[in-house]
Structure 1
Amino acid sequence: MKIYTVGGAVRDQLLGLPVKDRDYVVVGATPEQMLAEGFRAVGKDFPVFLHPQTQAEYALARTERKSGRGYKGFTVYAAPDVTLEDDLARRDLTINAMAEDESGELFDPYGGQEDLARRTLRHVGPAFVEDPVRILRLARFAARFGFSVALETVALCREMVAMGEVDHLVPERVWAEVAKGLMEEQPSRMFLVLRECGALAKLMPELDALWGVQQPSQHHPEIDTGDHVMRVLDYAASQNWPLDTRFAALCHDLGKGLTPQQEWPRHIGHESNGVALVEALCERIKAPNDCRDLAMLVCREHCNIHRAKKLRSTTILELLGRCDALRKPDRFKRLLDACIADARGRKDMEAEPYPQAEYLLACRDAAFAVDAGAVAAATADKTLIPEAVRLARLAALRAMGNPD
């Protein structure tokens, strides 16, 4: 029995990055031997065991053979005659197919070190095509490390898309990988890689449709809507904003793929189209409710928020109401953050002021400061309480100098 550290721990150690999790492969052992050593079996589909003291996961070396469509269609073989090289051969990328033994000796049969030095993501072998999740993981690693993707790997991914492999991905798995990619340092790289191999058009066609949609120059200097959305997303990531804000940044302009360009300056059309597209996308990839709700809100309101300082007091109060700003102040702040990303996620505009955010937060605070209980107590006709509270909040906004 020999034990090796494998995968991401070896990769990150070579890159000088903190090692968060360690995966172990055991070569030359049987399940019975593992149990006799005190390990506890936990794997349902694979022979995985927990260490009796550390509770770390140890997997028996295995091979996998394609036996169906999608990422679950595999037959697993695990036995003492499976070598370390056999086990590493089933892995996705060369940089993830390295191992280190207990003495620190490195095993790199597929050139992972060389690809790390080249900052290149390359598939290990033809078995890459057997698992469509690997396309998502490839794109996510591009977002994490900023590495380029080898041309032969892009070509292989295109073949997988053409064969319909990505059509068999379950929505929950798609969202899990997309969510991880959104939280990487440069999340745009994930979507650009997916687009390059044709997978984005299958998985998120609403987003893919934005490339080639020309922006009026007075709106976005970078012209192309897809390019603009990627800049917005990366700006949100640069601010370390949470997942729902980043997802909202990704989705904020979806409607522009369906709306005639001449309607954009009037701020109509693309918002309502976009909300419907966001809802459909979230349903298809099973995005969680908080991400869906914020993305729909940003899609519907971001143009109104950009014009906030030109709005009348009544319109601002209506905006605060639609955003549920008084009851959900944290979400309202994240809504404004996504709008900041939209304004600053443009070429040479990363440091531009965005006074609308502070202004609307001040408006929210002024409306919230109104003592609704006192207003209610002073209103004789209880049916008039909602209107009395509204008028009191409107007066608070007007006292800030807002136009009528």
Structure 2
Amino acid sequence: SGLALLTGAVLWWVLRKSRDVAKQSGLVLSRANQNLINDLQEFLGALKLIKIHGEETGYRRQFDRVMAQLREQQLDFNQVRTRSQMAFRIGGALALAGLTYAALTWARLPTAKLLVLIAVFSRMLPQVSSIHMGLQQLWHMTPAFANWRRWLTLCGTERETGKAENLAAPDLAHNIEFKGVRYQHPNSDKTFTVPDLSIPARKTTAVIGPSGSGKTTFLDLLSGLNPPEAGEIRIDGQALRADAGWRRRIAYIPQETGILDGSLRDNLTWGAVTADEAMMWRALEQAAAAPFVHHLPDGLDTWVGERGVRLSGGERQRLALARALLREPRLLILDEATSALDRDHQAVILDALRQLHGRLTVLIVTHRHEEIRDLIDGQIQVEAGRVSAWQPLTVAGDG
């Protein structure tokens, strides 16, 4: 019995030790995999810059270090599994020997019963070893599972309430109002405030401010992506809710246009699946994109490549504008959409916006408004997390 107890204690220690090692190995492996993904994303996102600066060797060394860490951790885990399996087998053999000795010496079992007991123990031992191997694999995966649960919980706390199809969205026929709005950035002491603001409908407004002033936060509040912690946002007097119903009324064009790896038709109908070909060409005409599309070999079915690499910067922006207009939005937001274009391509986009003046509400986010002064009706200044009142300018198109 003493031998059996000693063997059981040793097996229990092996079990606890292998659990701790498997968890630690899984934690390091999970972090190394995340680092590898981050490094790959960084490398692919800055590939042109890396090649120009000749930093390929540095990134290769960094990848090699991460891959070596992954290999080392996997080998360590395999060694732990092998050693613990051997310990279980040796411990099982010792336990069987002790059991046999006790059965013969103290219990004086008949030979037939002893053989049955040995047979049962021998059949059970591999099953126990398999269970232990499975537990080790489970412990090894625990850190990744815990990370997944953490992100799942975080997503659950940020879940929007209500279904977009059941919520009536305002038409934006009169104005957008901010009443004492305050927003606190997560994990930060920075506060964004909009004391009182009224943006008239069917006007073109410039949102001006330096980098980091809060222009993006302002757009997130306006689009309902982030609900304010205090105050209220109203569309035509109706309180804005953080749901997709209002966002269906918005078209957003960032500096990075988000062109899909597909055809022009695929890109145009993204977000407007019911649009027919006549509607597509009308949107292309409004965005001054129809001329270059007519000259493409396959027209609307021309493949544009990943992120639109087969199109020029100006063509991508015009395609993005046409896609936005095909949604028939009430509010069109251009977030530094023309800042990376040369003067000629910028002029084409601005001319297209002039044709839309008075037909929908337009917000143009920019660092400076001199180039669009003849296009805008008013401006909003964003500085140090605070938004000023809407200031009217000369009527667009009057010079």
Q: Give yes or no for TM over 0.5.
A: no
Question: Is the strand fraction higher in 1 or 2?
Answer: 2
In the superposition, the TM-score normalised over structure 2's length comes to: 0.22
Max Rg structure: 2
Comparing both chains, which one has the higher relative contact order based on Cα–Cα distances under 8 Å and sequence gaps of 6 or more? 2
